[in-house]
Structure 1
């Protein structure tokens, strides 16, 4: 009987220890999740919530925003938040040029807004011709952001073929501008069609309405977190982005 009591006491202590361990583990997981969660604050003038832990905010535009009054974009200051950079659609496929690119490119520079140009990649067209088209339309200068490949469609191409095609575009553009291009895509598309072999390139990741950081297991440089923002001087919704770093890191990214 004494042995049974000792066994019962031992099992009871063991159960208590396991329960305490599980409880502590749950608390740790909850604290880790809370620490990982990005804090957002609502900015009425922008019409959206912004992740407040990032200090450098920007937008991206194309012909859908039509003619932009860049002086009003530059002047907008909402509780210390300004539009500090803007990506602009330059080209698409082998021969299309965004009708507002030249205007946006020129006016953003005039207002001293850091500018970047992107190419919308069409998987069914020749990647070399697409790269040459982008190069012929975009003259990057000191202080500009690196060129961007907008890769969000694979069509019916097998993954290995698609990867080979975008690799051709990236390599040709890098050789021309002497800087590694940025890849723009969604978190899910990157996982499915790109993966670790493209981790050497800076990533501009699209993941809307996510209350944490983008769900992607690699370092990202820009995060497109919302597509319904408002900006003075633009009569349409605008995509909002943040840069993952401080002003010194941002300056290091720009063309020298």
Structure 2
């Protein structure tokens, strides 16, 4: 007889201890500890408090300035702050602004601010003529904007030669604003040489036009190289984003206070200027 077959023994799988999530919990706690440590390091860092303090001081200064000078406010249409103490405003343009619709420029108004005058770049050095000068010089006066032409001065070049070149391009007539010479850098020459060439330019233009030219420059350049040297010349000073020009009011005629204005009819941002005086004083600036 065949041997009796035994029933197979069924072995139970060894019982596993339930996973209580210790490893996962430990990893989670470790991550939190690292995060908290990082936050504490930031909060305890002097750089963090320095950053917060800087932001606080900046905000406080902004609030303080607004509180102290309510006449310096934002005009949404022009996208800049404009000093409200001045009633006559204008722009200055060059080829950078491209083709301008001067009718739209004239029609633009926000509250009590509109464009009354424009200074237009004509020449630079002894060879360069602004490609948009003739068009701007012709079209802006048609809509009733008072215009003045300006020359970008190069101190390395002979001042009298630059003056002759400027007057060959620009025909200055009655109804115009005085001509302007724009001097912004030394171009590698000494301050004395710059002033000599500039004086030659001013003397020649005044001799030919019977009008003393306006000198345009930045406030720092004026303080460093021209202060006390141009007492007989009207000044046009660039000093941006401030409620007040840091210069005796008796010394300047025009203030370029922003270079970021948006003007209807112009595709690029524009310099914005204020005239130091009322309508009567402005009319006296016009060549008769």
Question: TM-score scaled to structure 2, two decimals?
Answer: 0.74
Deviation at 1:248, TM superposition (A): 0.2
Q: Is the 8 A contact 1:94 1:125 kept in 2?
A: yes
Provide, for residues 149-199 of structure 1, a one-character-per-residue CA deviation record: whole Å limited to 9, x for no partner.
000011221111111110000000011110110000011101112121202
- CA distance 1:38–1:146, change in 2 (3 Å): farther
> Are 1:207 and 2:239 counterparts?
yes
Corresponding residue for residue 97 of structure 1: 129
Provide, for residues 61-80 of structure 1, a one-character-per-residue CA deviation record: whole Å limited to 9, x for no partner.
00000000001001111113
> Are 1:254 and 2:286 counterparts?
yes
Deviation at 1:211, TM superposition (A): 2.4
Using the alignment, how far apart are the partners of 1:76 and 1:156 within structure 2?
41
1:45 alignment partner, one of 77, 89, 95: 77
Corresponding residue for residue 82 of structure 1: 114
Local SS of the residue matching 2:135: helix
Question: TM-score scaled to structure 1, two decimals?
Answer: 0.84
Q: Is the 8 A contact 1:37 1:212 kept in 2?
A: no
Deviation at 1:38, TM superposition (A): 7.7
Q: Which has the higher contact order (CA 8 A, sep 6+)?
A: 1
Using the alignment, how far apart are the partners of 2:239 and 2:229 within structure 1?
21
Give structure 2 stretches of 5+ with no counterpart: 1-64
1:243 alignment partner, one of 268, 275, 278: 275
> Are 1:143 and 2:150 counterparts?
no
Using the alignment, how far apart are the partners of 1:237 and 1:217 within structure 2?
27
Q: Is the 8 A contact 1:38 1:213 kept in 2?
A: no
Using the alignment, how far apart are the partners of 2:244 and 2:174 within structure 1?
34
Q: Is the 8 A contact 1:46 1:231 kept in 2?
A: yes
- CA distance 1:156–1:217, change in 2 (3 Å): farther
CA RMSD for the aligned pairs? 1.7
Deviation at 1:212, TM superposition (A): 2.0
Alignment of 1:136-215 (within 5 A): 136-215=168-247
Using the alignment, how far apart are the partners of 1:132 and 1:37 within structure 2?
45
